[in-house]
């Protein structure tokens, strides 16, 4: 690799480090939002739930921007490392970096992996809480109006019942 290529790789690695810091903060915000969601559901705080619902489009737009930026960085690395974009990963990038940048990258990778594992657990706990609320609400309705007179409810897709394995909340990152 020439000195110019090493410099460009170093600059791209710095951009990656900034991006990984932003992703880490994004995952931390998601963890906090899941905690707030569970707390609002437990407290039956409709105002907090409405506020959370109002910020969902903004959060989705931010995730889309982050995904686009990730694709741009991935394509830049694939061009730099002369491989396909689907072959670019943090481990491969680390092989081409100096020891300082490689150590920093590995630290960020480790932290992000830990946060993602925690996010997966928190997501599961939140979904379990929401499913339990759904079950309790269904039981209460059956007790009030009876099973014979029960009205049908529909999912957003027009189905009359929610599938057991269909997620209640999205885990898209």
C-alpha to C-alpha distance for 172 and 159, rounded to whole angstroms: 23
Q: What is the pLDDT along the chain (173 residues), one digit of tens a residue?
A: 677 777 788 899 999 999 999 999 999 999 999 999 999 999 999 999 999 999 989 999 999 999 999 999 999 999 988 889 899 999 899 888 889 999 999 999 999 999 999 999 999 999 999 999 988 888 887 777 766 555 566 677 766 654 444 555 666 65
Q: How many CB atoms lie within 10 A of CB 132?
A: 11
What φ, ψ does residue 160 adopt, rounded to 5°?
Answer: -85, -15
**How large is the angle between the packed helices 99-145 and 3-43, nearest 10 degrees?**
20
CA angle centred on 71, ends 67 and 106, rounded to 5°: 90
């Amino acid at each position: 690799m020439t000195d110019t290529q090493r410099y460009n790789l170093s600059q791209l690695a710095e951009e990656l480090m900034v991006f990984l810091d932003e992703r880490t903060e994004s995952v931390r915000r998601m963890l906090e939002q899941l905690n707030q969601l569970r707390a609002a559901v437990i407290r039956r705080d409709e105002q907090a739930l409405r506020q959370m619902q109002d910020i969902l489009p903004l959060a989705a737009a931010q995730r889309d921007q982050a995904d686009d930026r990730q694709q741009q960085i991935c394509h830049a690395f694939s061009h730099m490392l002369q491989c396909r974009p689907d072959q670019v990963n943090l481990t491969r990038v680390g092989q081409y970096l100096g020891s300082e940048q490689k150590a920093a990258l590995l630290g960020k990778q480790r932290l992000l992996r830990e946060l993602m594992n925690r996010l997966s657990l928190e997501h599961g706990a939140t979904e379990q809480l929401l499913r339990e609320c759904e079950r309790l609400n269904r039981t209460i309705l059956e007790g009030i109006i009876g099973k014979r007179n029960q009205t049908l409810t529909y999912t957003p897709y027009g189905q009359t019942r929610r599938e057991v394995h269909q997620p209640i909340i999205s885990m898209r990152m």
